[in-house]
């Protein structure tokens, strides 16, 4: 007999809900396209850790409220950190915790990619076990476009999904691609019309719930061992490089260019 389900914690920027043995985690800043501000960045590892230990669920769905999955970093928040770079040291610790906690969850984690997933948003989606995306969504990791190193997980997961050559192509340019293209190259598992997204997710969930949960969990643990080894090897260096780039003139220039809707004028090397 399963343990009694604990009460769901409440967060300012994340919604948790149960549907039977399913735990749904929803990034909940829809007016900001679920862009990651300091509060969401801090609440993510807490919500993920709860999901890992939650006795009331066997499967997790991660999605976004509104039109986007997550538009990446909140611009005002990033500008504040760029002007006060010592604040990023806390975020660096949280970024590592987000990645490692997501990889530690032994339950299947399904990403319902309801809209654009950018930067950290893309990393969150791609670290899930299965990604089912709406065709209208775009996905990419444009850290370099704002003078940042892709150190918060992009360097870990992109190459594991699509190989090193393609990963470098997208990480070094920051190009966003459609969910349809992402499905064609194996970055995500499937891309379907938005109106069919819930049906596609539900159909996959039905397959999981019909299976042996103990065997499914153990298989996930095995398939994540190499990912966890890689993340452990890469994340400290990645966060260190990103922490250096946060303090660079190029980063502030990249943010200001985005806010002013112009091309950035980066320095050399």
Q: What is the pLDDT of residues 43-60, one digit of tens each?
A: 999 999 999 999 999 999
pLDDT higher than threshold 90 for residue 1: no
Measure the CA angle with vertex 64, ends 3 and 49; round to 5°: 35
Please, which residues have CB within 8 angstroms of residue 2's CB and are 6 or more apart in sequence? 55, 56
Kindly state whether residue 2 falls inside one of the protein's structural domains. Answer: no
Kindly state whether residue 265 falls inside one of the protein's structural domains. Answer: no
Report d(CA 258, CA 212) in Å as an integer.
48
- Structural domains in the chain (count): 1
Report d(CA 204, CA 148) in Å as an integer.
36
Which CA distances in Å does 178 have to 16, 138, 191?
28, 4, 9
> What pLDDT, in 10s, does the model give residues 181-199?
999 999 999 999 999 999 9
> For residue 147, is it left (φ>0), alpha (ψ between -120 and 50) or beta?
left
Kindly state whether residue 237 falls inside one of the protein's structural domains. Answer: yes
Nearest alpha-carbon partner for 41 in 108, 32, 67: 32
Kindly state whether residue 8 falls inside one of the protein's structural domains. Answer: no
Kindly state whether residue 9 falls inside one of the protein's structural domains. Answer: no
Report d(CA 66, CA 70) in Å as an integer.
10
Kindly state whether residue 219 falls inside one of the protein's structural domains. Answer: yes
* Structural domain of 75: 14-260
Q: What is the torsional sign of CA 237, 238, 239, 240?
A: positive
At 91 the pLDDT is: 85
14-19 and 59-64 strand pairing: unpaired
pTM above the 0.75 mark? yes
> What pLDDT, in 10s, does the model give residues 122-165?
999 999 999 999 999 999 999 999 999 999 899 999 999 999 99
Kindly state whether residue 155 falls inside one of the protein's structural domains. Answer: yes
Kindly state whether residue 130 falls inside one of the protein's structural domains. Answer: yes
What CATH number does residue 206 fall under?
Answer: 3.90.226.10
Q: Are 13 and 40 in contact (CB under 8 A)?
A: yes
């Amino acid at each position: 007999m399963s343990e009694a389900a604990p009460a769901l914690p409440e967060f300012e920027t994340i919604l948790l809900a149960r549907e039977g043995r399913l735990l749904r985690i929803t990034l909940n800043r829809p007016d900001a396209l679920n862009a990651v501000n300091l509060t969401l960045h801090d609440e993510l590892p807490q919500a993920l850790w709860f999901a890992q230990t939650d006795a009331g669920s066997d499967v997790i769905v991660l999605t976004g409220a509104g039109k986007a999955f997550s538009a990446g970093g909140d611009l005002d928040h990033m500008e504040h950190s760029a002007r006060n770079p010592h604040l990023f040291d806390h975020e660096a610790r949280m970024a590592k915790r987000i990645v490692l906690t997501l990889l530690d969850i032994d339950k299947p984690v399904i990403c319902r990619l309801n809209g654009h997933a950018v930067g950290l948003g893309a990393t969150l989606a791609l670290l899930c076990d299965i990604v089912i995306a709406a065709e209208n969504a775009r996905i990419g990791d444009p850290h370099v476009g704002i003078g940042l190193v892709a150190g918060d997980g992009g360097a870990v997961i992109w190459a594991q999904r699509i190989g090193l050559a393609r990963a470098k192509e997208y990480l070094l340019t920051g190009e966003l691609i459609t969910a349809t293209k992402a499905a064609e190259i194996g970055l995500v598992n499937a891309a379907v019309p938005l109106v069919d997204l819930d049906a596609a997710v539900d159909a996959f969930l039905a397959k999981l719930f019909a299976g042996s949960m103990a065997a499914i969990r153990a298989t996930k643990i095995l398939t994540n061992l190499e990912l966890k080894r890689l993340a452990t090897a890469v994340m400290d260096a990645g966060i260190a490089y990103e922490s250096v780039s946060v303090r660079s003139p190029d980063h502030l220039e990249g943010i200001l260019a985005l806010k002013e809707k112009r091309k950035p004028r980066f320095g050399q090397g």
